[in-house]
């Protein structure tokens, strides 16, 4: 699986909270975000297939939040 670039994580944190994050902090957050993205993706694929679709929609992704969190 492709990893989330540390630069993107650093930029996100800087824009969100106006603080810096260390390299290892960005790497750790990247791993957590990747696991979460895999979980959401699996759920969205299952939901799309259940609906008879081959494409995931934003509703499939948003349904994860409603059903799983």
* pLDDT tens by residue, 43-63: 999 999 999 999 999 999 999
Q: How far apart are CA 60 and CA 24, in angstroms?
A: 32
How many residues in the chain? 69
pLDDT of residue 1: 54
pLDDT of residue 60: 95
- The CATH architecture that domain 6-68 belongs to is Orthogonal Bundle (1.10)
Contact in structure between 40 and 33 (CB atoms under 8 Å) = no
Tell how many helices (H) and how many strands (E) occur in the chain: 3, 0
Give the residue carrying structure tokens 């297939």.
49
Contact in structure between 9 and 22 (CB atoms under 8 Å) = no
pLDDT of residue 45: 97
């Amino acid at each position: 699986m492709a990893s989330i670039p540390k630069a993107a994580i650093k930029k996100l944190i800087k824009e969100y909270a106006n603080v810096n994050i260390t390299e290892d902090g960005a790497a750790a957050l990247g791993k957590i975000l990747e696991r979460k993205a895999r979980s959401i993706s699996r759920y969205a694929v299952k939901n799309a297939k259940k609906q008879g679709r081959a494409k995931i929609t934003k509703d499939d992704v948003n349904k994860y939040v409603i059903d799983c969190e």
